[in-house]
Amino acid sequence: MTARTDVILPGATLGVMGGGQLGRMFVHAAQAMGYRTAVLDADASSPAGLVSHEHIRAGYLDETGLAELARVSAAITTEFENVPAQALDKLAESRPVAPAGRAVAICQDRAREKAHFVACGVDCAPYAMIDTPEQLAAVSDDLLPGILKTTRLGYDGKGQVRVQTRAELVAGWDELQRVGCVLEKMLPLAYEVSVLVARGRDGQVVHFPLQENLHRDGILAVTTVPAPHVTEAVSQQAYAAAHQIAASMDYVGVLCIEFFVLQDGRIVANEMAPRPHNSGHHTIDACDVSQFELQVRAMTGLPLVAPVLHSPCLMLNLLGDLWFPGGASEQVEPDWAAVLALSGTHLHLYGKTEARKARKMGHLTVTGTTPQAARATALQVAAILGIAPF
């Protein structure tokens, strides 16, 4: 049997736009499979740059940097949602790029993202676009209380203001520098879930079992799989929506879609990310194939397989706050030895030396033989590290 010629095989170099923790875990997965890696990121000590074979220190629109990435890479992906789509389009002139610039462009813009959900027959929260003072004045009272979100460049709850009244809405838009925003109606959430899918060049789509996510201050805090509150009806709807959303963009790569499950049982799509996602980090330790391995497989044309969750688990995000116990003024390393003494704990730190409040420093996955056992251990971990119980 001869090797398939359309597949990029191990030994080749895979390029990634962005050097954050998602890029770092992509590099780990690619290298484990025998690929070489190249990271493009301006930061000399970026988490992915530190572990990659090659690190091209350049901005996302730097022509020389992009040309170098294209020269050394057999295929290119992205780990950062806000990479300019035109940079991906430029790379795509000479190399396979997955996901494509046009799909990333939809995910970068809340208005286009919502229009895409609606076109796929998937509900999202009632909303209005606010680009002008006239649009602000014309907002329906039905959208209040609501959340004003910048149309572009928001993450981890940044670029968002919660508004109860029209006066707060006006002040909130000023606070956001009057950039283009969407005002979303505040919905009564029962819980939140996300679905990760991977789609290949041949159109095959596979998904991970969906995960339930707890956010604190707009930042993901805890992911639990299997999702404790989810019903069969909700999960089937979420999977069908995710497959449809990916297929209708002709998406290639890993895509995450966040959903709200409302108190009346309806599901609405919140937002999507054109890359592996923080809510999928448990897949490294709790699934037979991780989200990062599927990113490698999708971009190289290797087969996708439906991933299996082999262990119930919880993933805890490790934010920089944990390095300052009791409001300490100096950074103190958390007691990893105490945590790792508990069986089923898997520590992932991203190589960031400076801890800052709300900065994602790492994550910790706890696997167990049962969901109850995993949860009990995760609560012990939380108590040791100073994470509030969940």
Inter-axis angle of helices 63-72 and 85-92, to 10 degrees? 50
> Interaction with ligand ATP in 62-91: which residues (CB under 6 A)?
none
Of 81 and 258, which CB lies nearer to Mg ion in the complex structure? 258
Cα–Cα distance between 328 and 148 in angstroms, integer?
A: 34
> Chain centroid to CA 85: how far?
17
Asked if 17 is part of the footprint of ligand ATP (rule: CB under 6 A), the reply reads: no
Binds ligand ATP (CB under 6 A): choice among 91, 125, 322, 385: 125
Q: If you ran DSSP here, which 8-state letter would residue 369 be given?
A: S
Closest distance to ligand ATP from the beta carbon of 23 (Å): 17
How would you classify the pairing of strands 345-349 and 360-367?
antiparallel
Asked if 186 is part of the footprint of ligand ATP (rule: CB under 6 A), the reply reads: yes
> Interaction with Mg ion in 258-317: which residues (CB under 5 A)?
258
Binds ligand ATP (CB under 6 A): choice among 41, 79, 109, 192: 192
Binds ligand ATP (CB under 6 A): choice among 150, 155, 221, 247: 155
Asked if 154 is part of the footprint of ligand ATP (rule: CB under 6 A), the reply reads: yes
Report helix, strand or coil for 275. Answer: coil
CB contact set of 360 (below 8 Å; sequence gap of 6+): 21, 156, 278, 317, 318, 319, 320, 350
Q: x/- binding map, residues 213-242, to ligand ATP, per CB under 6 A?
A: --x--x------------------------
Q: x/- binding map, residues 36-55, to Mg ion, per CB under 5 A?
A: --------------------
Asked if 345 is part of the footprint of ligand ATP (rule: CB under 6 A), the reply reads: no
Of 62 and 156, which CB lies nearer to Mg ion in the complex structure? 156
Q: What is the largest CA-CA distance in the chain?
A: 70
> Chain centroid to CA 11: how far?
28
Distances from the Cα of 358 to the Cα of 205, 266, 346, angstroms: 34, 31, 21
Of 147 and 222, which CB lies nearer to ligand ATP in the complex structure? 147
**Among the listed residues 122, 361, 147, 156, the one whose alpha carbon sits nearest the alpha carbon of residue 257:** 122
Q: Within a 10 A sphere around the Cβ of 185, how many other Cβ atoms? A: 15
Q: Which does 32 bind (CB under 5 to 8 A by kind): Mg ion, ligand ATP, none?
A: none
Structure tokens at 125: 């929260």
Asked if 156 is part of the footprint of ligand ATP (rule: CB under 6 A), the reply reads: yes
Under the rule (CB under 6 A), what is the footprint of ligand ATP?
Answer: 125, 147, 149, 154-158, 160, 184, 186-187, 189, 192, 215, 218, 258, 270-271
Under the rule (CB under 5 A), what is the footprint of Mg ion?
Answer: 258
